Amino acid sequence: MKKGIAGGMNRIIVLLALFVAVPTFAEEISWTWAPTWADGTAVSAEDQAKMTAYLRISKVGNSTAKTYFGETRNGVSTWTDNIMARSNELAVTNAVPGWTTLKAWDNVNVTLSAAFIGSDGVERDSAESPAYLYMIRGPAAFAAISANPVAIVRGSCSTLTWIATDSMTASIDQGIGPVPLTGNRQVCPTSDTIYKISATNPGGTTTSTAQIAVTLPVQPGCNSPINMTIKP
């Protein structure tokens, strides 16, 4: 008999709904098991090893579109696998009405609950924890920019070509400002100039630069005569 359930049929696991410090992005979910049962007796490591923890994820603004998965955690109080991939796998394979797949940078609410089947075969469920708001991690923004040609004579022009992937916005300095995520633009600097593109998504900003060297044009002038002969 488990110490925490020996005395009654209707004792319920109390899950301490406290997620420990986690990154901004929901790649790792951690929590703390409650140390006691409802009757105040201690929850043993053996009890914890047989608990099934259920993680539920719903998209912000669409509380009915949720996925969940449960595992016997063997006493471990963390999930470190990719939460988005796990949720999407279940949403697709189970095809439960209302479930939806997640994408990078979705805001989601995460809740946790637990269940335990006692020696009497009765499952006892904990209440669901309060919802915690997380953002699904996505790839870092990528940006690249180049100039062709990289050296010009003052008065001539060069073409900037750029691409920004996994990005929401892109901008180039030197007075150019916001630009499409892919594109090109002719520029005619009058001196050596570095152009920097900044690509941004909710995870941060990535930059890339291209430099154009500018030289002065050759000025026309008189050349000295060659093999000149002066006759009296």
Domains assigned to the chain: 29-135 (no CATH), 142-215 (2.60.40.10)
How many C-beta neighbours within 10 Å does residue 217 have? 9
The confidence score (pLDDT) of residue 105 equals 81
Measured between its terminal Cα atoms, the distance across the chain in Å is: 132
Please name the residue that has the structure tokens 């796998």.
89
What integer pLDDT is reported at residue 139 of this predicted model? 81
pLDDT at 81: 65
Q: What's the pTM? A: 0.60
The SS3 call for residue 134 is strand
Q: With CA atoms as reference, report the closest residue to 5 among 54, 42, 31.
A: 42
Q: What share of the chain is helix, strand, coil (3-state, %, to 5)?
A: 10, 40, 50
Non-local (6+) Cβ contacts of 83 within 8 A are 26, 27, 29, 55, 57, 110, 136
The 3-state DSSP class for residue 50 equals helix
Share of the chain above pLDDT 90, in %: 31
Average pLDDT of the chain?
A: 77
Residue labelled with tokens 């047989």: 50
- What pLDDT shows up at residue 200? 95
How confident is the model over 170-210, as pLDDT tens digits? 999 999 999 999 999 999 999 999 999 999 998 899 999 99
Model confidence at 16, pLDDT cuts 50, 70, 90, reads: very low
Question: Higher model confidence: residue 13 or residue 99?
Answer: 99
pLDDT tens readout for residues 116-133: 776 667 777 777 788 888
Name the nearest CA neighbour of 142 among 190, 182, 179, 114.
Answer: 182
Q: Which pLDDT belongs to residue 61? A: 75
